[in-house]
Amino acid sequence: MLRIAVPNKGSLAETASEMLREAGYAGRRDPRALTVADPLNDVEFFYLRPRDIATYVGSGALDVGVTGRDLLLDSGSSAQEIANLDFADSTFRFAGPAGQFAELSDLEGVRVATSYPGLVGDFLSRHGVSATLVTLDGAVESAVKLGVADAVADVVSTGSTLRAQGLQIFGPVILESSAVLISANPTIEGISTLHRRLQGVLVARQYVIMDYDLPAELLEQATAVTPGLESPTVSPLRDENWVAVRVMVKRVGMNQVMDSLYALGARAILVSPIHAARL
Ligand SMILES: Nc1ncnc2c1ncn2[C@@H]1O[C@H](COP(=O)(O)OP(=O)(O)OP(=O)(O)O)[C@@H](O)[C@H]1O
Ligand SMILES: O=P(O)(O)OC[C@H]1O[C@H](OP(=O)(O)OP(=O)(O)O)[C@H](O)[C@@H]1O
Ligand SMILES: [Mg+2]
């Protein structure tokens, strides 16, 4: 039975559980349950703090888990990233009071507040900067105003939390993060099925099926607009000057693709969602 760690709280929890449900696994009926058995799929879920997941998976106590790339690196765990799950995208950045810091070397000797001392400490030492880390649990952006640090290093998504505290990003990007699937031993039986199922959910979320009718002589030009993942399916129509094309298209930008196809001469352009996929 594959033992899977799932975030129980925070930014990762809801989407992780949603993706697993869409992939056909049992979810939590009781939102406070710590474990859920799913004998039909031969897996058992353990709902844990996202920060702790890399520790459980790295030690081999659990086989595989969902966490953030930033949390994995911060933990120093020996678990490896086996797939990008493409949600909870963020960047990890330094920030300070507007105008006070311009580059990384300005951090020499100052106090930097963070909830990710492992990640930030490694980054600073790799770049030869020595600063004093002030480790906080959260709401790190308040640390400067409250006088316990001179700068911060934290997760940035829209940047509105930083702005609201009068802080400005500076220096290099510490890390581009997102939710990831991790394991200490990716060859464990069952992990590849879980991985493929989650990839299927990502495809179903990111792509649509596009069908259209097209004068046959325009097929090369239309294929340049919608190349598909491998190659479009082309079927004959009763009118032999026309063909029907079926192809996968990225959901983002699909309206521009429809406009381009229409301008080229395609008609009856239809879009349908993908409910599940195995590529
Ligand atoms: N605003 C955000 N946008 C995108 N990802 C985020 C955001 N805040 C945190 N994350 C990501 O969520 C993960 C942290 O999850 P965690 O549950 O520890 O923190 P949280 O969502 O900040 O919850 P809390 O701080 O309330 O415990 C990290 O991988 C981090 O990059
Ligand atoms: O760039 P933004 O879109 O503003 O998002 C970034 C903020 O979101 C997270 O905070 P969270 O709400 O999890 O609170 P926390 O600081 O207590 O972790 C993160 O720690 C940042 O503070
Ligand atoms: Mg947080």
**Which residues place a Cβ less than 5 A from the ion ligand 3?**
138
Ligand nearest to the CA of 68: 1
Residues 61, 182 within the same domain: yes
Residues 269, 224 within the same domain: yes
Tell me the pLDDT tens digit for each residue of 259-268: 999 999 999 9
The overall average pLDDT reported for the chain is: 97
Measured CA to CA, the distance from residue 25 to residue 153 in angstroms comes to: 36
Residue from 174, 263, 187, 199 nearest 225 by CA: 263
139 lines ligand 2 (CB under 6 A): yes
Angle at 93 between CA 89 and CA 95, to 5 degrees: 135
**Protein residue whose Cα sits closest to atom 9 of ligand 1:** 11
Beta-strand runs (E) in the chain = 2-7, 35-38, 43-48, 64-68, 80-84, 90-97, 111-114, 132-135, 151-156, 167-177, 179-183, 207-215, 233-236, 242-250, 267-273
CA-to-CA dists, residue 180 to 33, 66, 215, angstroms: 23, 6, 44
Residue 279 included in any domain: no
Residue 164 pLDDT greater than 90, yes or no: yes
Average pLDDT for 110-114: 98
Residues 184, 72 within the same domain: yes
- Distance from the alpha carbon of residue 139 to the mean position of ligand 3, in angstroms: 7
Amino acid 279: pLDDT: 87
CB 90 within 8 A of CB 155: yes
Range of the domain at 155: 90-170
Tokens of 244: 């029907």
Residue 156 included in any domain: yes
Tokens of 26: 């049992």
pLDDT level of residue 212 (50, 70, 90 thresholds): very high
Tell me the pLDDT tens digit for each residue of 166-181: 999 999 999 999 999 9
Tell me the pLDDT tens digit for each residue of 37-79: 999 999 999 999 999 999 999 999 999 999 999 999 999 999 9
Measured CA to CA, the distance from residue 85 to residue 177 in angstroms comes to: 11
Number of domains in the chain: 3
**Burial group, residue 252, by CB count within 10 angstroms (0-12, 13-18, 19+):** exposed
11 lines ligand 1 (CB under 6 A): yes
Residues 65, 101 within the same domain: no
CB 119 within 8 A of CB 74: yes
9 lines ligand 1 (CB under 6 A): yes
**Protein residue whose Cα sits closest to atom 23 of ligand 1:** 10
Average pLDDT for 230-252: 97
Residues 65, 184 within the same domain: yes
pLDDT level of residue 5 (50, 70, 90 thresholds): very high
Q: What is the ipTM of this complex?
A: 0.95
What percentage of the chain has pLDDT greater than the value 70? 100
Write the CATH number for 33: 3.40.190.10
Amino acid 113: pLDDT: 98
Residue of 74, 114, 157 with the most ligand 2 atoms within 8 Å of its CB, for mutation: 157
